[in-house]
Amino acid sequence: MYVINRQNIEEKVSFDKIIQRIKVLSSISKNPNNIDYGLVAQKIVSNMYSGISTSELDDLCSRICMGMSSTNPSYEELASIICIDNLHKNTSKCLLETYKQLYNISDNSGDKFNLVSEEFLEIVKNNTNRLNNEIDYKLDYNINFFGFKTLQRSYLLKVNEKIIERPQHMFMRVAIGIHKNDIDKVINVYKLMANRYFTHATPTLFNAGTERPQMSSCFLAGMDDNIESIFETSGELAKISKWAGGIGLSIDNIRSQGSLIRGTGGNSSGIMPLMKMLNSIATYINQGGKRNGSFAIYLQPHHPDIFTFLDAKKNHGADEQRARDLFYALWVSDLFMERVKKNENWSLLCPDECKGLCDTYGDEFRKLY
């Protein structure tokens, strides 16, 4: 039985080498208690196949260690260390070399594109020595297994499914993307993120230093009760979601189920078909497979479709009455809570017939309601 090493050369499988590698990596652990190196090696050999690459062997080893972590948490830490060491062996420790691989890339048709911006690459070029001296790859080993897998799946930049970035590269990219040529601030922010004092939100981690540096997290929107507004707003939300922005959308203005549609003489289907469409947008516009869009839908409790709204997230029930990938929230007025406290009646009012409630608050809302 043989493995393919990282130089693409066949190498005979050595049980002793496997044990030695596990021992060396476990020495990085802060708490390597009761690791049975021989047992791990046995499980690896029994699950491997001839011709497996050393990178795949590391992946197999990490999965075996995770499977053993229920009996000893030290195996989970070892699994994380193996994954990170594997990434380090497959990536460059030079910041400039890393980001050159993400610039002027050819797709399958030969067309060129860039995953980092020219401005970002110039900053890295002009400050290569200082940035390389400040970056500390040992800090990658502080990331736990599930944290690393999340970074691997969604956050670290790739070319043709091959990961190019290390976690420390990502932190430095974000710091440069925010502070540009102010290298003192870049290094300060990098160190704070690398040492886990704080991190930035997903859009910043995704987009900093790229050709589309959209780093804002949250966007609020509303839509009017007509076809033009509904589809124009939906298109804008799709564009925001493409660049990882989270969305809060008020649908208070949308007329309730059964309301008259004056243009056709028909009746409205209410908010559920709209929410189904938004649910589809959120799952389809998924930032290149990195994560689903994040849409929070807001409604006030006087809307006649409120019970449909409250049921929309439930796991059971007819699919045509559910939009489970959205998030839901209520605009709750003081008047509503006062009625609840006094156990008084609460009326449901269609926004098509009772206009203005969506745009007022305080005494004006109370009087209009």
Buried b (16+ CB within 10 A) or exposed e, 90-109: ebbeebbebbbbbbeeeeee
Output the pLDDT for position 93: 95
Specify whether the CB–CB gap between 272 and 328 falls below 8 A: no
How far is Cα 211 from Cα 201, in angstroms, rounded to an integer?
A: 18
List phi, psi (to 5°) of 262: -65, -30
How far is Cα 151 from Cα 168, in angstroms, rounded to an integer?
A: 11
Buried b (16+ CB within 10 A) or exposed e, 241-272: bebbbbbbbbbbbbbbeebeeeeeeeebebbb
Tally Cβ neighbours within 10 Å of residue 114. 15
The residues with which 2 forms a beta bridge, in sequence order, are: 12
Buried b (16+ CB within 10 A) or exposed e, 275-301: bbebbebbeebebeeeeebbbebbbbb
How far is Cα 319 from Cα 315, in angstroms, rounded to an integer?
A: 9
Q: Which two tokens stand for residue 36?
A: 């049975």
- What is the Cα Rg of the chain in Å? 27
- Write out the chain's pLDDT in tens, 369 residues: 889 988 899 999 889 999 999 999 998 887 777 899 999 999 999 999 999 999 999 999 999 999 999 989 999 999 999 999 999 999 999 999 999 999 999 998 999 999 999 999 999 999 999 999 999 999 999 999 999 999 999 999 999 999 999 999 999 999 999 999 999 999 999 999 999 999 999 999 999 999 999 999 999 999 999 999 999 999 999 999 999 999 999 999 999 999 999 989 999 999 999 999 999 999 999 888 888 899 999 999 999 999 999 999 999 999 999 999 999 999 999 999 999 999 999 999 999 999 999 999 999 999 999
Specify whether the CB–CB gap between 289 and 304 falls below 8 A: no
The residues with which 220 forms a beta bridge, in sequence order, are: 248
List phi, psi (to 5°) of 341: -60, -40
Output the pLDDT for position 288: 80
